[in-house]
Amino acid sequence: MKIKKLKLLFIALSIATASFTSQAQVNNKINVVATFSVLGDMTKNIGGNRINLTTLVGPNGDAHVYQPTPADAQAVAEADLLIINGVGFEGWIERLIQASNYQKQVIVATNGVNLIDMKEEDHHDEEHGEHEDDKHEEHHDDEHDKHEEDSHAGHHHGDTDPHAWHSLANGKIYVKNIANGLMAVDPSSQNIYKNNLKYYTNQINALESRIRKHVASTPKDKRKVVTPHDAFGYLSSTYGIEFFAPVGFSTESEASAKDVATLIRQIKKNNISAVFIENVSDNRLINQIARETGANVGGVLYSDALAKNGQASTYLGMVKHNISTLSSTLK
């Protein structure tokens, strides 16, 4: 009798434990780390309340020059999934992964994106060609080589543009990669991620067609602007807006006096009427260039991070803000 009771109790306990475990698994959120605010917002939209999200580089933060903290290493160590932009944008990520001894899945959001490489003849070099015609040919080659070495030193991670999120078409690839990562790590919630992906992709599509109409109303010859660093190549190729910048793909590099002089010549030659500041860059140089050329400062563009609040605090809001800021200034 006693034994029977004990046995029953044991069975009851095991059932309770079993149901407790499965309940816990259902409620257990997965830990996801996204490297910067744009990825963080996308991940939040796809993961919803199924995930505990940590974003390493927050609003207005510059991921190019970010220095991870011990708390970041802790978050990565506890993560079930790590989502990065890749293409050298987070130059510190390999070190952080090692320091955290993270061995689980890493999703590279740019996977499958058609990446933009630095043009062989980027606009600095074109200028060299035009303005140094009268100089000795050999000297020109020296300058050209020197310039390439200089700019290479500023781009430790290759000369491919990492800012692919500025094209909404790429944004759709990003969120698909993120959703695939979440589904692989948390298959029991697959349907939730699938539905969230579908809903979010529809929102991107709707915004995409609105933006095309918006940009189409801006005169083609006016679609030329200056920004502090070369962060809008994907927006440029999608909407036919030409961007000029004193420095390249990373804010790590600094503009030389020669780069600035070249840019000032380009602004005058192309009748560029507006320069823009960025939320992540040091804007003193841009303000100086505006003063020297008489160009207007057209407002803030969100390049490498979302805003803390307001419209640009989400990915879709950021794209909306950038396009409307550009078009209203260029009209």
**Chain residues in the site for Zn ion (CB under 5 A):** 231, 304
CA–CA separation, 124 and 216 (whole Å): 28
Helix axes 37-47, 168-185, angle to 10 degrees: 60
Q: How far is the CB of 162 from Zn ion (least distance, A)?
A: 7
Q: How far is the CB of 137 from Zn ion (least distance, A)?
A: 35
Q: How far is the CB of 35 from Zn ion (least distance, A)?
A: 13
DSSP states along 187-224: GGGHHHHHHHHHHHHHHHHHHHHHHHHHHHTS-GGG-E
CB 143, CB 128: distance < 8 Å? yes
Smallest Cα–Cα separation from 82: which of 167, 178, 168? 178
- Which residue, 31 or 85, has its beta carbon nearer to Zn ion? 85
Spell out the alpha helix ranges (H) of 222-310: 233-239, 257-269, 284-293
Q: How far is the CB of 172 from Zn ion (least distance, A)?
A: 21
Q: Tokens representing 93? A: 């990520």
- Which residue, 200 or 302, has its beta carbon nearer to Zn ion? 302
Q: How far is the CB of 64 from Zn ion (least distance, A)?
A: 5
- Which residue, 33 or 231, has its beta carbon nearer to Zn ion? 231
- Which residue, 73 or 231, has its beta carbon nearer to Zn ion? 231
- Which residue, 218 or 279, has its beta carbon nearer to Zn ion? 279
